């Protein structure tokens, strides 16, 4: 049996079982089994993916907040409001965790690039984002303003200085799960003590920082396009 050309696939779903890559992505997590477009599906082990392989944005909010965010959904609302105010496309979630879920369980596991609003690449997909190391710092706001990082000048409005400088609310570990053994304002629902990541770091401390516990601070949050 000879495989048909995929040129006609651009007009719609192709005939005789041959699938264009564009249609593959719309169907979710598929594995090409070989032999003229035959496919194997495993809906039980497939991670949450997305059909869009284009760049997804990630930023740190220009606004500062107490740790009583209203849970992760309250953080999501902040991220969406900041993105809309800046005219950014898409839906955004906060890089936070509580009893209802974490980035690893709540967020789309994007297969394409994560980048700042300036175009600087942060990670080559979800697995790269959650391997404990970033390509660059997540230090730009939704408007592209650069925030101060470690040892920033605390007198400057772009410097959020608690114990190192560059603190951002985060109770998430390097793999995208809720950190164990730390305080997080009861899942971001009450005022009290919590934990931060850092916008000036590219190792795992960008999300699982050493600055804890933090009480009474007002800090930004990380936001990720879905």
pLDDT tens digit sequence for 59-114: 999 999 999 999 999 999 999 999 999 999 999 999 999 999 999 999 999 999 99
Q: How far apart are CA 195 and CA 197, in angstroms?
A: 7
Q: What pLDDT is attached to residue 42?
A: 34
Q: What pLDDT is attached to residue 125?
A: 97
Q: What pLDDT is attached to residue 210?
A: 94
Interior angle at CA 225, CA 178 and CA 195, nearest 5: 30
C-alpha closest to that of 173 among 95, 94, 87: 95
CATH topology of domain 47-226: Mannose-Binding Protein A; Chain A (3.10.100)
Q: What count of other Cβ atoms lies within 10 Å of the Cβ of residue 146?
A: 14
Q: Which residues of the chain have pLDDT under 70?
A: 1-49
Domain ranges, ordered by start, for the chain: 7-40, 47-226
Q: What pLDDT is attached to residue 48?
A: 60
- Predicted TM-score of the model (pTM): 0.79
Cβ 43 vs Cβ 53: under 8 Å: no
């Amino acid at each position: 049996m000879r495989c048909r050309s995929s040129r006609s696939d651009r007009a719609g779903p192709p005939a005789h079982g041959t699938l264009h890559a564009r249609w593959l992505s719309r169907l979710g997590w598929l594995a090409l089994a070989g032999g003229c477009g035959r496919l194997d599906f495993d809906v039980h082990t497939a991670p949450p993916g997305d059909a869009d392989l284009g760049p997804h944005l990630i930023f740190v909010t220009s606004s500062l907040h107490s740790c009583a965010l209203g849970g992760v959904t309250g953080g999501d609302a902040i991220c969406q409001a900041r993105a809309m105010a800046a005219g950014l496309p898409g839906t955004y979630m906060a890089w936070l965790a509580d009893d209802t879920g974490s980035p690893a369980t709540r967020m789309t596991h994007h297969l394409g690039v994560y980048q700042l609003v300036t175009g600087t690449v942060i990670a080559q997909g979800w697995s790269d984002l959650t391997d404990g190391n970033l390509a660059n710092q997540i230090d730009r706001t939704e408007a592209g303003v650069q925030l101060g990082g470690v040892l920033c000048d605390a007198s400057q409005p772009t410097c959020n200085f608690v114990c190192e400088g560059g603190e951002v609310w985060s109770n998430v570990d390097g793999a995208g799960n809720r950190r164990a053994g730390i305080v997080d304002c009861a899942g971001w629902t009450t005022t009290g003590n919590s934990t931060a990541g850092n916008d000036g770091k590219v190792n795992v401390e960008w999300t699982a920082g050493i600055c804890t516990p933090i009480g009474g601070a007002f800090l930004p949050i990380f936001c990720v396009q879905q």
